[in-house]
Amino acid sequence: MSAIKDRLQDDWKAALKAKDKFTASVITTAKAALLMVEKTDNRKLEEDEVISILAKEVKQRRESMLEFEKGNRQDLVDQCKAEIEILLKYLPQQLGEEEIKQIVKDSAEELGANSIKDMGKVMSAVRPKVVGKADGKLVSEIVKEYLNNK
């Protein structure tokens, strides 16, 4: 079992013992997402796959949060924020904007990318370096900005 899955299991047990229903519920949802992929593919997940699935869970909550903000549902916005905080504990340290810009710049120079037409190539090179460490939408915006200013 991966280290992250072990931590999820241990933290889930601790949350149940502490009668922290909210944390236990969030971890249960994350574990269910991992288990669904394992059952569907009939194999154990690698650590990077676990990170990718958890990052997808965070992304879903961020998208929901935006919709809840539009609907003036502050209670649900706060709930999503709390869920994201719990899930981020299991992901690698998130990269800052400057770090992402440096990765994009290095990757673009490596590929010789100099126009927006090369966005797909640059994104393909950057994605493995930032998966689980940065929001894909932010990375895409930074790549677009970098290539437009070339």
The domain segmentation of the chain, as residue ranges, is 3-88, 97-148
- pLDDT score for 97: 87
The pLDDT score that the predictor gives to residue 132 is 76
Domain 3-88, CATH among 3.40.50.300, 1.10.1510.10, 3.40.640.10, 3.30.300.30: 1.10.1510.10
Would the pLDDT of 65 be above 70?
yes
Task: Label residue 109 exposed, middle or buried (CB < 10 Å: 0-12, 13-18, 19+).
Answer: exposed
Proportion of the chain above pLDDT 70, given as a percent: 99
Closest CA to 33 of 16, 15, 51, 13: 51
User: pLDDT grade, residue 127 (50/70/90)?
Assistant: confident
The pLDDT tens digits for 22-50 are 999 999 999 999 999 999 988 888 888 89
Determine the CATH number of domain 97-148.
1.10.10.410
Residues 6+ away with beta carbon under 8 Å from 109: none
Q: What is the pLDDT of residues 128-149, one digit of tens each?
A: 888 778 888 888 889 888 888 7
Q: What is the pLDDT of residue 130?
A: 86
User: DSSP states of 12-35 as a string?
Assistant: HHHHHHTT-HHHHHHHHHHHHHHH
pLDDT at residue 63, as a whole number: 92
Given the structure tokens 């009668």, which residue do they identify?
19
**What mean pLDDT comes out for the span 82-91?**
93
Give the count of beta carbons closer than 10 Å to the beta carbon of residue 138. 14
